[in-house]
Amino acid sequence: MLSGNTGVRNAYAGYDRWFQEQDPARLTTKMSDAESVFRKTGITFAVYGQEEAAERLIPFDIVPRILSGSEWRRLTQGIEQRVQALNAFLDDIYHRQEILKSGRVPRSLIAGNEAFLPEMVGVRPPAGVYTHIIGVDIVRTGENDFFVLEDNARTPSGVSYMLENRETMMQLFPELFQQIKVRPVENYPQLLRRSLAATKPQSAPDRPTIAVLTPGSFNSAYFEHAFLADQMGVELVEGSDLRVVDGHVAMRTTEGYKQIDVLYRRVDDAYLDPLTFRPDSALGVPGIMDVYRAGNITIANAPGTGISDDKAIYSYMPEIVEFYTGRKAILGNIPTWRCSEEDSLKYVLEHLEELVVKEVHGSGGYGMLVGPAASQKECEAFAAKLKAKPHNYIAQPTLSLSTCPILTEKGLAPRHVDLRPFVLVSDRIQIVPGGLTRVALKEGSLVVNSSQGGGTKDTWVLDD
């Protein structure tokens, strides 16, 4: 919000003028009002493995994160390029494997990877789209320095918080949106529905039947599954509601079974089809992979997309982008040490207290070590894990992440943030102007995940 040289940055000028006129007591009240809105709406997330509050409210800060139109245009160019490369990469590794033959990506990284599904080799999804919905996590380290922290190409979550954050801000501060031209995000559910419909199987009717597949109400993101199904006007189904009928997937209704053409699944690959993957899965649909291979249903995102957001693959993204687009990556990667490589492992073990170490398949902030915040005992324990399974980890430097203000009892205070824009892929790429800003509410913390004590903010892209 503030520049060291010029005071308030241009993007925040209108908001700052409004903020200076506000009574601090009113803003404190509005913070409580926001919590009440979230509580009434039921916007919660589950924290696995913690008995004392399985369902929690996600903390929300009322100071928006603001990006200028020009900043957003630069970001979207880089995101579009990256998403095109991700889809091309997935199509290639499940078919001709040209990037492996060229030596740009090691074959061992694919062949020995649990996220790579041999069952998808030779299968081309309807409309040729693998990653229908992508969440690209972006961090900022300087005025014009944006980097991709990770790609979320399996079942990215958080878009419901983006929508509810905006709805809450418009309820609390309608005058702000009259004074400042902020680009809308409310149409995301309609865009999502149209985008999914555009990837329907060729044999499907012009108005395909779409459904959202959820693991059920005990899943940490169940609120989002129900929210999106409701907002799109489609059915929310569980595996037990579905069966294969005459070569198609059908859902149980009061009038019998009805064919589904597009299934937006929020169930992991391993649980999708007990006849193909885990036989003990009660969350999926027996035989759905046969229907999929026959081209009679669209599964979004496609099975096997997890290989493209694997953190070891991430370290090769600059090469992947250049290989498929013919141009250097617009958005850079964070320098990454692959612990599977002997020299890298040696460096990481010698500099653990300076680095962030992550599991290759990890998510949600679990299974990671933030060196500067860890004790010597924690570093020693993690070093033992690294030596036992080096291929399971990557390491990155501790970045000087950008900060945005949050409202505290003493006024505005800086906290570290990242940004997850949401990308829709069909016959075109659409990026909703904004995304989910996650904020580390603890002073000095770099971990923004809600499961690790982080919160969220509304993200404004100015219409300039």
pLDDT of 44: 61
The pair of structure tokens assigned to 77 is 């160019």
pLDDT (tens digit, 9 = 90+) per residue, 306-336? 999 888 899 999 999 999 999 999 999 998 9
Interatomic CA distance for residues 72 and 462, integer angstroms = 9
Mean pLDDT of the chain: 91
Identity of the residue numbered 422: F
Q: Read off the pTM.
A: 0.91
CATH topology of domain 335-397: Dna Ligase; domain 1 (3.30.1490)
Interatomic CA distance for residues 144 and 330, integer angstroms = 12
Q: Compute CA 281 distance to the chain's CA centroid, rounded to the nearest angstrom.
A: 25
Can you give the length of the chain in residues?
464
- Collapsing DSSP to helix, strand or coil, 423 comes out as strand
The class of domain 202-296 in CATH terms is alpha beta
pLDDT, average across residues 175-204:
97
Rounded to the nearest 5°, which phi and psi values hold at 258?
-120, 135
Going by pLDDT thresholds of 50, 70 and 90, the confidence category of residue 364 is low
pLDDT (tens digit, 9 = 90+) per residue, 417-442? 999 999 999 999 999 999 999 999 88
Closest CA to 72 of 464, 461, 463: 461
For the chain, domain boundaries: 2-201+297-332+400-461, 202-296, 335-397
pLDDT (tens digit, 9 = 90+) per residue, 264-319? 999 999 999 999 999 999 999 999 999 999 999 999 999 999 999 888 899 999 99
Rounded to the nearest 5°, which phi and psi values hold at 8?
-75, 130
